[in-house]
Amino acid sequence: MIWSFPDPTRTAILANGQSYSFGDLQQASRHMAAQLLANQSDLNERRVAFMVEPGFDYVRVQWGIWLAGGVGVPLCTTHPLPAIQYVLDDTGADVLVVSPAFANLLRDDATRRHIRFIVLGEDETSLETLLPTLTPDRRAMILYTSGTTNLPKGVVTTHANLDAQTATLLKAWSYSTCDHALCVLPLHHVHGIVNVVSCTLRAGGTVEFLSNFSAQAVFDWFRANQLPNRDRVFMAVPTIYFKLIAHFDTLPPDEQTAITGAMRACRLMVSGSAALPVSVMERWEAISGHRLLERYGMTEIGMAISNPYMGERRAGHIGQPLPGVGIRLVDDAGLDVQDDASPGESTPGDASPGEILVKGDNVFLEYWQRPDATEAAFTPDGWFRTGDVAVLETGYYRILGRNSTDIIKSGGYKISALEIEEVLRTHPLVADCSVVGLPNDEWGELVAAALVLQHPNTPLDTAQLSTWLREQLPAYKVPRRFLALPDLPRNAMGKVTKNDLKPMFND
Contact partner, 437, from ligand MCA, ligand AMP, none, Cβ < 5-8 Å per class: none
Closest to ligand AMP by CB, 75 vs 190, is 190
CB of 273 to ligand AMP, least distance (A): 5
Identify the CA nearest to 353 among candidates 318, 388, 379. Answer: 388
Complex with ligand MCA: residue 73 or 185, whichever CB lies closer? 185
Q: How far is the CB of 274 from ligand AMP (least distance, A)?
A: 5
Which residues make Cβ contacts (< 8 Å) with residue 181, sequence separation at least 6? 196, 200, 205, 206, 207, 208, 232, 233, 234, 235
Our measurement of the distance from residue 220's CA atom to the centroid of its chain's CA atoms, rounded to an integer in Å, reads: 25
Q: Measured from the CB atom, is 35 or 271 closer to ligand AMP?
A: 271
Residue 157's binding partner out of ligand MCA, ligand AMP, none, with CB under 5 to 8 Å set by partner kind: none
Please report the beta strands in 184-273, taking only residues with DSSP state E, as ranges in sequence order: 206-209, 231-236, 268-271
Q: b/e map of 148-176 (b: 16 or more CB within 10 Å)?
A: beeebbbbbbbbbbbbbbbbbbbebbebe
Q: Judged by CB, which is closer to ligand MCA: 93, or 184?
A: 184
Q: How far apart are CA 501 and CA 507, in angstroms?
A: 11
End-to-end CA distance of the chain: 52
Q: Which residue is nearest to ligand AMP (CB)?
A: 414
Measured distance CA(466)–CA(423) in Å, rounded? 12
* Minimum distance of ligand AMP from residue 79's CB (angstroms): 15
Please report, as ranges, the residues that interact with ligand AMP according to CB under 6 A: 145, 190, 272-275, 294, 296-299, 318, 386, 388, 399, 402, 409, 414
Instruction: Please say which residue, 198 or 273, places its beta carbon nearer to ligand AMP.
Output: 273
Q: Is the dihedral of CA 379, 383, 388, 389 positive or negative?
A: negative
Residue 386 contact partner, candidates ligand MCA, ligand AMP, none, CB within 5 to 8 A by sort of partner = ligand AMP
Distance of alpha carbon 39 from alpha carbon 30, whole angstroms: 14
409 binding partner (options ligand MCA, ligand AMP, none; Cβ < 5 to 8 Å by kind)? ligand AMP
Choose the one of ligand AMP, ligand MCA, none that binds residue 480, judging by a C-beta under 5 to 8 angstroms depending on kind.
ligand MCA
Alpha carbons within 13 angstroms on the beta-carbon side of residue 372 total 1
| SS3 (DSSP) at 105 | helix
Instruction: Residue 206: name its binding partner from ligand MCA, ligand AMP, none (Cβ under 5 to 8 Å by kind).
Output: none
- What is the number of alpha carbons within 13 Å of residue 42 lying toward its C-beta? 9
Interface positions with ligand MCA (CB under 6 A): 185-186, 189-192, 212-213, 237, 239-240, 272-273, 297-299, 410-413, 443, 446, 475-476, 480
Residue 185 contact partner, candidates ligand MCA, ligand AMP, none, CB within 5 to 8 A by sort of partner: ligand MCA
